[in-house]
Amino acid sequence: MSFKEGAGDGPMPPARLAVIAGQVEGLLSDEPWRLSDGELEALLEGVCRLVGRVAAARGRLLVEAQDRGFALRQGAVDTAAWLRDRLALASREARRQVALARDVHEVCQATGAALAAGELTVEHAVVICEAMRSLPAGVTPDQRDEAEQALLGFARSFDPYQLVKLAARQREALTMVDTSPGGDDPHADSRTGEHDNPGSGRAGNVDAGGDGDSTDTNNREKPSPDPADIRRLTLTDTPAGTTLLSGELDAEGAALLRTALDSLAAPHPAVDGTPDQRTPARRRADALIDLISRLLSAGAVPTAGGTRPHLTVAIPWNTLLAAGTIPATTSWGLPLPRAALARLSCDAEISRILLDPAGVPLDVGRSTRTVPAHLRRALAIRDQGCVFPGCDRPPAWCEAHHAVHWRDGGPTALHNLLLLCPTHHRQVHHDGWDIVFTDDHRPALVPPHRIDPLRRPRRNPYSQPPEHLRTTA
């Protein structure tokens, strides 16, 4: 229904908007502290529900603007572009508003009615509309109506994040429903993993040809789509020297990834008991890097070009000696921060490649391991794992660290080496921890002044042999 229809003798829409704006102005000028708890509760709920109703009204206006080609006459390529330019919206938000307006007007009218009645939040409506658009093409109109009503019911009790999972389960259940006239195999026309618009797929045209048996036979000859076909991963380098990851996984792939990262992403309290300050997103990112580092170290990935995959960093000689200004770069072309270079070069496979002034290789030397295997075994026996106080990571999860960096003349010897897990290796390099070797030739860590003004050396009890613990108890 347009604004012209059913307007009656009431004020025109611009006048109504002026009345609404005046009422909102009154709310802004009121003093909330004067409200009783009951009044405050009613007002809070009412204002929150009003947001959905305003969104519904906005949607009707956006649909009308699209239908009459308003944006084109204003010099914009489409309605979303006009919104973005006029209101300085993000492109994604402008497109979301336009898509929601069209969805509740054409595809999800029950959702639009609930939004207009203040019974639904905008976030819930977006989830329901996306879920309805992703339903298998073979579902009937009755099934679509039932699915939408079910999601509207769930929306009263579940937040949008939970509603997404419920919508996915419902979609999969409808994918398994046998909609063929003869009771054929439901997998023959499965749309699992696809994001097609309902009605665009072949299942929506089964009745068009008038020969249902022939069409069903053709469908049975085609294999079911692989749910994994939806998998994608994109890595985009940025001018800041970072890389953006974006992608999508099917349910199985997502479950495998979450299972692999779950224990690695657990919070790790600091030495003094302070809770882990990393955000969940940072912990998951750290866990992913930890997982990849272990796979590469264990040689559990296929070879590439006859060699095991490994991190390759091109380092100008002066930069390696901390005297140059030209940054080191990874084999993917991104510059590597100096602090990361210092940490990585503690225990690395180093190959000498001499270049002429034009950058052409003149000589390639043999690889040498900064920490050879026999020293690595000795470190594992002595340190028993990460030596950072309170850490229980085993030797296989650790990296060898030079107390005095080898570029500063530190020897690759047992009395200058210790084991640190990747997390604490970064912490030692970035947070000002120092390392000393005591009379028993074991490493101890000296905290920065902000943690302990007296800077008393600390040891990890997990890395000490039982007899040492008995003598110091």
Q: What is the pLDDT of residues 299-336, one digit of tens each?
A: 666 654 444 555 666 666 666 666 666 677 775 666 76
Distances (CA, A) of 84 to 61, 63, 141, 422: 16, 16, 35, 44
pLDDT tens sequence across 237-252: 766 667 888 888 887 7
Q: Report residue 342's pLDDT band, with 50, 70 and 90 as the boundaries.
A: low
* Amino acid at residue number 312: T
97 exposed, middle or buried (CB, 10 Å; 0-12, 13-18, 19+)?
A: buried
Q: Tell which wins on pLDDT, 326 or 397.
A: 397
pLDDT at residue 176, as a whole number:
59
Residues 351 and 372: their CA atoms lie apart, in Å, by 15
**Average pLDDT for residues 58-66, to the nearest whole number?**
93
**pLDDT value at 459 more than 60:** yes
249 exposed, middle or buried (CB, 10 Å; 0-12, 13-18, 19+)?
A: middle
> How many C-beta atoms lie closer than 10 Å to residue 456's C-beta?
9
pLDDT at residue 374, as a whole number:
74
pLDDT tens sequence across 125-135: 999 998 898 88
pLDDT tens sequence across 93-120: 999 999 999 999 988 999 999 999 999 9
pLDDT at residue 59, as a whole number:
93
Main-chain phi, psi angles of 25, to 5 degrees: -60, -40
Domain spans, the chain: 31-179, 372-472
pLDDT at residue 138, as a whole number:
81
Residues 16 and 282: their CA atoms lie apart, in Å, by 48
Token couple for 230: 């939806």
Residues 334 and 329: their CA atoms lie apart, in Å, by 5
**pLDDT value at 436 more than 70:** yes
SS3 233: strand
**Average pLDDT for residues 133-154, to the nearest whole number?**
89
pLDDT at residue 267, as a whole number:
84
SS3 246: strand
Candidates 112, 182, 174; CA nearest to 140 is 174
Q: Tell which wins on pLDDT, 192 or 454.
A: 454
* Amino acid at residue number 227: P
Average pLDDT, the chain: 75
**pLDDT value at 35 more than 80:** yes
Q: Tell which wins on pLDDT, 124 or 371.
A: 124
**Average pLDDT for residues 144-167, to the nearest whole number?**
89
* Alpha-carbon torsion angle 161, 165, 166, 169, nearest 10: 170
Q: Tell which wins on pLDDT, 116 or 13.
A: 116
Token couple for 75: 């010099």
Token couple for 5: 């229809």
The alpha carbons of the chain give a radius of gyration, in whole angstroms, of 32
Q: Report residue 204's pLDDT band, with 50, 70 and 90 as the boundaries.
A: very low
